[in-house]
Amino acid sequence: MTESTSTQNALNKSHSVIPALLTDKVAIVTGASRGLGTQIAQQMAVAGAIVCVNYLNSKQAAEAVVAEIEAAGGQAFAYQADVTELEQVQAMAAEVITRYGRIDILVNNALPSYQFNPSAAYTSIETVKWSHFSQQIDGIVKGAVNTVQAVLPQMKAQQVGKIINISTNLVYNPVVTYYDYTTAKSALIGLTRNLASELGQHGIRVNLLAGGLLKTTDASSLTTEEVFDYIATTTPLRQATSVADFANSVLLMASDLSMAITGQSIAVDGGLTMP
């Protein structure tokens, strides 16, 4: 089965299980041209949202995501913007407003290029370099700050909005010491709480979802079935979390069902970690 066929099957299945949680909501999903970002964008569209599929370099992949969404009856468009450049994400937000008049949801999913290699230099405090940290902090934290600043004027004008930051359960249980990646993702917890505290008065909810090893993304594509089986046996639900299941958690936090939730850091890993 090809990847596109597998994706379309997942979308078709989603039609039968996802209610219209996000009808007429307008969402921006950063880093949505592949992996988890693609799944989030697709499932948001199935749930009724109009989705801006943000990408950095993968124009063809982003356009393919849009095409799949439209083929399934949804609405989306692709937009190239480097989240580390404030002017570029401000232009993206302006384009969304020009097209649709509002921004209801921001999902900060974009991630700098990274290899989850347990033997890499950045897994030891003796060999990790500050350049490793700065790359991840710029891509993850600066990127999230920029996108929030870009959408904030519109969300404040609306007096409502949802911001969802994507992190990792490694911040709770660093089974592999990815110093640079985990440190940057940990900073998102502090950012989430501060944003929630300041922006709640404007009706803006800000939460963080921390995923485990998802089955299957680009990052976990080389993970063996034995590893996934081990995770399943150590997880209360006795199964590895799928990309679709994680994306459904994003839908919940983006929808009106979570209007009383803000400032939270929630692990989406089947109970593997319980922070």
The residues assigned a catalytic role are 181
Residue 75: what residue type?
A: Q
Indicate the Cα dihedral angle 158, 162, 165, 168, nearest 10°.
Answer: 180
Separation of alpha carbons 49 and 51, rounded Å: 6
CA distance 275 to 164: 18
Render the burial of 207-243: b for 16+ CB within 10 Å, e for the rest: bbbbbbbbbbbeebeebeeeebeebbeebeeeebbbb
Tell me the backbone φ, ψ of residue 47, rounded to 5 degrees: -80, 0
User: For residue 112, how many other CB atoms are within 10 A of its CB?
Assistant: 18
Distance CA 193, CA 79 (A): 28
